[in-house]
Amino acid sequence: MFFSGDSSNRKRVDLGGRSTKERDRQKLLEQTRLERNRRLWLRQQNFAATKIQKCFRGRKVATSEYSKVREQFYGTYGKHCQNADKSCFGPDSDFLRQLLFFFDARSVGDFSILVETCRLLQQFVRDTGDMVSLFAGMDYSSKHALVNYRVKKLAYLCIKAVHQNRNQLKDQLFASPQECTVSTTLLLETVVLLIDHKLPWVCKTVSYLLERKAFTLFREIILTGRASIETHNSIDRVSSLERTLAVVIPHIGQEPCNCPNVGPHWSFSSQILTIPFLWKLLPYLRGVFAARGLSQHYIHQMALCVHNHADVLPNDTSVELPSYACLLGNILESSGVALSQPDCSFEMAVDLAAVATFLLESLPSIKSSNRQSKEDSMVGEDDTEGDDAMEICLNNDLERQICEAIDSRFLLQFTNVLFGGISLVSDSHKAPDDKEVSAVGAACAFLHVTFNTLPLERIMTILAYRTELVPVLWNFMKRCNENQKWSSLSEQLAYLLSGDAPGWLLPLAVFCPVYKHMLTIVDNEEFYEQEKPLSLKDIRSLIIILRQALWQLLWVNPTAPSNSSKSVTSTPAKKKHPVEFIQQRVGIVASELLSQLQDWNNRREFTSPSDFHADGVNDFFISQAVIENTRANDILKQAPFLVPFTSRVKIFTSQLAAARQRHESNSVFTRNRFRIRRDRILEDAYNQMSALSEEDLRGPIRVTFVNEFGVEEAGIDGGGIFKDFMENITRAAFDVQYGLFKETSDHLLYPNPGSGMIHDQHLQFFHFLGILLAKALFEGILVDIPFATFFLSKLKQKYNYLNDLPSLDQELYRHLIFLKHFKGDISELELYFVIVNNEYGEQTEEELLPGGKNLRVTNDNVITFIHLVANHRLNYQIRQQSSHFLRGFQQLIQKDWIDMFNEHELQLLISGSLDSLDIDDLRRNTNYVGGYHSEHYVVDMFWEVLKSFSLENQKKFLKFVTGCSRGPLLGFKYLEPLFCIQRAAGSATDEALDRLPTAATCMNLLKLPPYRSKEQLETKLMYAISAEAGFDLS
């Protein structure tokens, strides 16, 4: 600003509206606050300096006193205790008083004195045999306070000395008592002497040690010395460290012991049982721990921590050896011994289940057999974020320890203890009591988590065949369902399930996979005749329970998309949302079990097919099921049997119609025209169809037939000729004379295992036949090809089991079942693990296992042999043919479409049902033109004649007018277009009446002259449908 000429200072005005005084007041307050804080900081500094000086002076004085007393000790007893005698340990001697005062574990000299003191003590005890008089003289009662103090202090210093010098002594930490000159042996054996259970001060001494976290010291000693254990620890010797722990851990506060319970953070359970591979390091201690009183106490202590959600475990020794996993491995490994005790209590088994469940749930999945596959699966998880994606990989040996601990012996003992007092024949009207609820809850929680964490192969067979798990769980579920007692189980499992989760979740999560596994091994006689393990009546009730539970989970109260398979196997999802995880798991295993029970019902019906249908399926559900990514569509993929078969067929036909419409709209003109010789139909079709792309295969194909004279047959293909072509080519291609397929004794078709011996390009032909069958399905053309059930399973990409063998070879099945139930010595039958193939007179031998030629079938391995034979016949022999057939089939038919149907229903989709040949239904859905109507006398005669035909002639008539010998699956209402009868001649002259009925299959049209009599109509119609003259007839 320019100078205005006014030299006076103008008063500055605060345009913000605040006065200067106010601003000065705020500044003063701030300065006052800062000054107060500075004074406080100075006081704290002075206080801290005073405290440090006080501590330093105290330490300096104490060190000086230690040195003074140490020099007095040297002067009296010598630097190596050479002047010490038996009286030095008495109450009137200064020997222990001085040693306990100045001892410093870091001092080499002090350590040597303590070792020598221990050697002397052990020598004097051996000489006199009386520890009490050595320390207390003749009157312990009057000196007990002093004696107790000295003993517990000496014992603690011995442990502390070993701990402080553990790195220097690491090669001696597992030395045995026989190595009596080793310093660690002398120190630890002294502790064993001092806390012998017969001594009066034992409980006070052990309490003193535990209060000073002795187990933490022991833990660090063991972890330091475990690398060099091979040097000292042999099978026949027990280390002094083990002996010390063995006399400490029985002090659990039970009579006659009066030791107080130590905090869970510093207990034996959290500090010692979390050491990796503890029982390999301390095998003797395992036997001591497994004694009923100890294992039950410590497992109960851990169970209380589980229920209170207390985190009491120490830091992990390494990333691959987390403490909780090491604790789990050690508990499971020792529990086998504890459970085998005749007086093992029910309460211990329940506590063990709670602890093992909690720890297993924290464990990463170890289902994969090797580390690489686990790493691959981790990389594939796209939907995890942050820390969840960093899944921990356990040490291989630790994985092996956990898996091998849950073996057949453990599972048998565990279930026997839990279910030992439960009756399998209890009154169905009586609700389960509290003990049964606890037993079932504990078993289900443990097994559910085990199924989702460990490999299932060994576990499932043991649970299914060597325990009473299936009948016990079914009996429990049946009574809970009838008495509505599920709520008590929800309360029992509150630590695992939160919220208002239904009580039937966990029992179903365990029952379904075990019973499903059992059904893969049980044979038809056991299931239908002997009704093992469940009666057919019980199975009918089970189907109802499973159906209702599944509908509740998937439709009424869904928690997440039912097809989210990633979340089902995801460990982070399991931890964050345990209820949602279990609900998804139950949805999957219940669907699989119901699907398997439906297969059994298809083999031999024991319940109505409608029992599998959900009650809530309505028009709204069906309309939603057609739309991708809807809940109804997900249910249709996961549990299609909940939806009635006719509804699924409607959905399937609508999907096919939509796909055809999409491709027809893209191609205005038909690009694919085939010229087919009737006498070379298969070769011509193969050559022309194989050249088409997948897009062309989905589009319309027009066919022109050439007869045996090389002349094109009359007629324009509007769809009817193509239908005739499809029926003829499928009949030719699947004819057993051609060599690609064989037939069973029931005349059902399956791929010929020896097809390669007949056709060099047999696999390409199977690919072509897969396309052919898919094209028929895609166009809605029914073909009369009866496939064997086990081959239809291959279209669904399912594995075949022993139960499927009757659909291939009844005789072989009977022989295998004979072996399964053979009571004698099977080895006398001279069977080996080989199978003989006989194709076209050429016999070849194949081994079922490596070295099978030299492996005899015995009573121990006969079940394995039976299933290997079934697998060879049903899966292995036709694996290449089935694979190529499926590859061609899936070029036109999506897997999702086929997965809606089981094998029995799939056969109906392919061939239709004879039940659909309902003449009355055809009459109700027929149109009339050219002067005919439903009441016309010729029409009445026609229907009477048609009804009088045999089934075979009715099928011929249907083929004559529609191009297919079977009617639509849902009835003639769905024939496109509807069947129509047209008057063929304008007037009823003799010449007109001499004509034969003709047909236009492309329009499902019958041209029927107005015959005068029923006999004439029958004769002419029979001649027409039996002529098989192709399209020249019309």
Nearest residue to 467 via CA among 533, 376, 404: 533
What tokens does 173 get? 């930490």
Q: Helix (H, G, I), strand (E, B), or coil: what is residue 322? A: coil
Q: Given its phi and psi angles, is residue 234 left (phi above 0), alpha (psi -120 to 50 degrees) or beta?
A: beta
Q: Which DSSP letter does residue 138 get?
A: T
Tokens 């870091």 locate to 106
What distance in Å separates the CA atoms of residue 1021 and residue 938, rounded to the nearest whole number? 13
Torsion of CA 659, 660, 661, 665, to 10 degrees: 110
Segment 105-110 long-range contacts (CB within 8 Å, at least 24 positions apart): 105/157, 105/160, 105/161, 105/163, 105/164, 105/165, 106/164, 109/79, 110/70
Residue 877 in contact with residue 927, Cβ under 8 Å?
no
Q: Are strands 842-847 and 926-929 parallel, antiparallel or unpaired?
A: unpaired
- For the chain, state the CA radius of gyration: 43
Q: Give the containing element (helix H, strand E) for 507.
A: helix 505-521
Exposed, middle or buried by CB within 10 Å (0-12, 13-18, 19+), for 437? Answer: buried
Spell out the residues 6+ positions from residue 600 whose beta carbon is closer than 8 angstroms to its own: 519, 527, 606, 803
Q: Which of 538, 780, 830, 763 is nearest to 658 (CA)?
A: 780
What CA–CA distance (Å, rounded) separates 451 from 837? 38
Helix (H) or strand (E) holding 1023: helix 1014-1027
**Cβ 182 vs Cβ 239: under 8 Å:** no
User: How far does CA 292 lie from the centroid of its chain?
Assistant: 33
Question: Which residues, listed in sequence order, are joined to residue 838 by a DSSP beta bridge?
Answer: 843
Under 8 Å CB-to-CB from 337, ≥6 apart: which residues?
A: 286, 287, 290
- Per the CB < 8 A criterion, the answer to whether 437 and 445 are in contact is no
Question: Could you give the residue numbers annotated as active site?
Answer: 1002
CA quadruple 19, 24, 30, 36: dihedral positive or negative? negative
